[in-house]
Structure 1
Amino acid sequence: MGTTLMLVAVVEAFIGISGNTFIALVNFMGWIKSKKIASMDSILTSLAMSRICLQCIILLDCFIMVQYPDTYNIGKEMRIIDFFWTLTNHLSVWFATCLSIFYFFKIANFFHPLFLWIKWRIDKLILRTLLLCCVLSLCFSLPVTENLNDDFRRCVKTKERINSTLRCKVNKAGHASVKVNLNLVMLFPFSVSLLSFLLLLLSLWRHTRQMQLNATGSKDPSTTAHIRAMKAVISFLVLFVAYCLAFLIATSSYFMPESELAVMWGELIALIYPSSHSFILILGNSKLRQASLRVLCKVKAMLKGRNCQQHGQI
């Protein structure tokens, strides 16, 4: 069962890493060519790179759990993996939240002075915001480096008693507290993205109403931009909810009877989020969509040429 789930995880990770690598490469090549990178491209590149690292960490965690269960249970190396998983997880979520915020300030139409001030300076603030996300993610990841997890794995997963049952209960409570706090912290970026979506919806409603009052067509560029941004944000929110549930299952697996299977299923569900959302972003971004079409055309031409050569040989 573990080997089968491992193969599924490899397929999911390969698809996700391919999509995120494509996003990073397209934006990096555009940066090299034009000697500058747009704010949107910098967010997408940061998001893609964080998700590549996240998927590699999840895949490594699955591999160690299936192939080296002793190391997974009590190995000191798992503290390093726990740290990088938490770090890349928070980076991915915060960068996606930055994308939602960027969509809101670039597309929405409000006349509040604070909104207009940020809207005019959003391009200059993006780099600082991304750096702030890195600092916050690092701070939130430091608690998992404590050796609390080592004792807890011994007590719960390997069913070994260390000194007394009381110590195991203390470790169990402390471990649960750390994991619950890590999950609760992720509610803040989710709330920010949800607020961005609701404000985009309000902006679209006001814009559509204004267009109707002016007796003009409803499918203008602003309406199209609103709808496209809302699709990207809502897809992130839906996938993020599924990812949070999977992350909760994986991090709380020590309290379940079949903890290894719980972790594997949690990680399989977690891999859906960074994999599928990358392709949604590709389809929703005109530059990435055109680049993907060019790649598909080249692949189709190569396959067609290879088939022609094979028929010629026959």
Structure 2
Amino acid sequence: MLPIQVTVVFIAIYVLESLAIIVQSSLIVAVLGREWVQVKRMSPVEMILISLGSCRFCLQWSSVLYNFCSYFNPDWVFWYIGIIWEFTNTLSFWLTSLLAVVYCVKIASFTHPIFFWLRWRILRLVPWLLLGSLLTSCVTIIFSAIRNYITVKLMSVKHFPRNNTVTERLQTVLQNFLISQQMVVLTIPFLLFVASTIVLISSLFQHLGQMQQHSSGHGNSSMKAQSTALRSLAVFLVFFISYFLTILVSARDSLFEKTTWFWVWQIIIYAVVSIHSTSLMLSNPKLKKVLKVRCW
């Protein structure tokens, strides 16, 4: 057990990270939403960004409420807040993978006919893919709500001595079901994200090699931009894999629950979310312009 002062420091860092994510998400929705109202048109990427910003805004608020309520009131069960967090987290995974697929199809320079077909098709299907991500997350929450309801009922009868053995076994089964559900629900969008990012990195790396063979004054600046993009994609790929693994490990609440290391775990998880939100804002011209004005 670490000193209480260290715990307070970790909680403060977590709160600052949460505020940063909330501000980033609000800015994404506000800027792109205002642009949509003015122009009456929105690109597929901006649709996903607005959806992802709204999702992460709700995700972070539910995370803050659930973590503080469950940490300072361990005898209460705040499963309804946990359901909101699980829903927004699942939806965030699907939206992130969808964004990676769209970027891959738009930017990758492969000349295979499949890429031409995808580039023509997927951009028109983005609204339906967003709806599909929402429906998939809703279906997942039905199973989560049933699981949490059974868990609450088990905790209410746990004080009966003769029911302890049966209750503990059922709780173990539910815990294993939770981990299996998280594996199935999150692994599919995670693999889509990883595959799309690796394909995009391969395309940029191949294009960089071609540019090096025909380097010029203007080509040097382009190669520098390509190299920066490759490093950014590689770094974020590592971060997102870490985020996926931390989410799976955190499903076993008994490892970090109600300890100082619980807040360290939360800091690690949402640091990746904040980094991703920052990279998305810097990659979008409209958001980048607003950031420059605000910073100035």
Q: Would the TM-score normalized by the shorter structure come out above 0.5? A: yes
Provide the C-alpha distance between the structure 2 equivalents of 1:180 and 1:197, rounded to a whole number of angstroms.
25
Q: Does 1:67 align with 2:72?
A: yes
- Tell me, yes or no, if the aligned pair for 2:175 and 2:252 is still in contact at 8 Å: no
Q: CA deviation at 1:291?
A: 0.9
Provide the C-alpha distance between the structure 2 equivalents of 1:111 and 1:275, rounded to a whole number of angstroms.
34
AA in 2 matched with 1:22 = L
Q: CA deviation at 1:46?
A: 0.9
Moved over 6 A (4+): none
Give unmatched runs, 5+ long, in structure 1: 73-77, 298-314
Change (3 A) 1:176 1:202: same
Provide the C-alpha distance between the structure 1 equivalents of 2:266 and 2:141, rounded to a whole number of angstroms.
19
Query: What pairs up with 1:188-267 in 2 under 5 angstroms?
Result: 188-211=188-211, 218-219=219-220, 230=230, 233-254=233-254, 256=255, 259-261=257-259, 263-267=262-266
RMSD in angstroms over aligned alpha carbons? 2.8
Give unmatched runs, 5+ long, in structure 2: none
Provide the C-alpha distance between the structure 2 equivalents of 1:102 and 1:224, rounded to a whole number of angstroms.
24
Change (3 A) 1:215 1:293: closer
- Tell me, yes or no, if the aligned pair for 2:28 and 2:287 is still in contact at 8 Å: yes
- Tell me, yes or no, if the aligned pair for 1:43 and 1:95 is still in contact at 8 Å: yes
AA in 1 matched with 2:116 = L
Question: How many residue pairs align between the two structures?
Answer: 287
Query: What pairs up with 1:126-141 in 2 under 5 angstroms?
Result: 126-141=126-141
1:245-294 Cα distance to aligned partner (Å, 9 max, x none): 3323432113x4x6212544333322222222211211222221111111
AA in 2 matched with 1:12 = E
Name the % identity: 26
What residue number does 1:149 align with? 151
Q: Does 1:177 align with 2:182?
A: no
- Tell me, yes or no, if the aligned pair for 2:90 and 2:185 is still in contact at 8 Å: no
- Tell me, yes or no, if the aligned pair for 1:51 and 1:88 is still in contact at 8 Å: yes
AA in 1 matched with 2:185 = V
AA in 2 matched with 1:115 = F
Provide the C-alpha distance between the structure 2 equivalents of 1:139 and 1:232, rounded to a whole number of angstroms.
34
AA in 1 matched with 2:136 = L
- Tell me, yes or no, if the aligned pair for 2:17 and 2:274 is still in contact at 8 Å: yes
Q: Does 1:13 align with 2:15?
A: no
Q: CA deviation at 1:226?
A: 5.8
Q: Give TM-score, length-normalised by structure 1.
A: 0.80
AA in 2 matched with 1:252 = R
Provide the C-alpha distance between the structure 2 equivalents of 1:47 and 1:82, rounded to a whole number of angstroms.
19
1:165-218 Cα distance to aligned partner (Å, 9 max, x none): 133112212222222321343122221111112211222233334445566664
Provide the C-alpha distance between the structure 2 equivalents of 1:232 and 1:200, rounded to a whole number of angstroms.
12
- Tell me, yes or no, if the aligned pair for 1:58 and 1:267 is still in contact at 8 Å: no
Q: Give TM-score, length-normalised by structure 2.
A: 0.84
Q: CA deviation at 1:127?
A: 1.0
